[in-house]
Structure 1
Amino acid sequence: AIYKYTPMSGSSYIETPKPIMNKRAIINPRNINQQCFKWAILAKHVVGDNKFRVNENYTKHEDKYIFNGISFPTPLSDISKFEKNNQNVSVNVYGLEKRLQPPKKYPSYEVFPLKVVDDEKPDHFDLLLVTDGDNTHYTYISNFSRLLRSQKTSHTGQVIFCKRCFTTFNRQNL
């Protein structure tokens, strides 16, 4: 049999899994179009209580970046075009895997790297690609440590992670 290759890409809004949402580590823009990559990028600049609704809080920041040549929904391969269009920008993208671990009743989620840059530029973004069946959706990671901490350590304080391999550091061993 021959299968058509469909590259992984973000599309329209998908609700964040509750265990991830409860970490308060990501901003998931509630968009109604296929431009979730754009809204996830702009989420970094949105302040106040309305971070989750795509409205003028988002659109007023659209001119900060060049989105020319980017397809919507955005495949992972187009992110390098976005980085070339915006020389001071770098973007990491992480995936999310649902895990059922008996005897636990509820699933846990594990974050894993999909695209990690070698050098973070001054205007850096970490995005989480959430999936629901065949649908995918980019979200903005506002607190990387908070997102990963319970996955990698039982330590409850601030932990610093290598964004490539998820090795943990505290301030003393940096």
Structure 2
Amino acid sequence: MKIKNWAGNYEYSTLNVHYPSTIEQIQSLVKQHKKIRVIGTRHSFNSIADSPDTLISLEQYPSPITIHPEQNMVLFGANVTYAQLSRVLHAQGLALHNLASLPHISVVGACATATHGSGDQNQNLAATVSGLEIVTANGELVEVSRQQNPEIFEGAVVHLGGLGVVVSLILDVCPAFEIAQVVYEHLPIA
């Protein structure tokens, strides 16, 4: 059965979809297949994440969330959504400085594509990434951080899926704050 994007209006072109649950499985898949695309929460309206060859979905990849309050950082796995991460952070009195407008999208996918956040005074969502782990095309697990690899860091964060499979991210966090969102629905087309 072919899979579709979140809106149901785009059908991916392959039946070759893998659901790895370990880093070792991801490493094996990238070594075995010449062309791979990773799909997250499939919040795309076009073929940018599609492949006629092989897709990897990280839906079954374990994604524990580990907060390091003394460093104002949070580490988490690749399939965590903004809703999941925000709930865990809020319970600890912390927050992300900027959020995606949709709670169900994956944090890793939003950062990899430099998705905009909320408000015209904020940087894109990748701006708070301070580190990541990525499985490269040869299956190697590589850690990249703002401190240790400044010369390649920004290109590794906003990689558009071109460097490999991101398996974890580290984001900067801040103290929790109150905010309200106003959503206008069913407005007349005038």
TM-score by length of 1: 0.31
TM-score normalised by the chain length of structure 2: 0.30
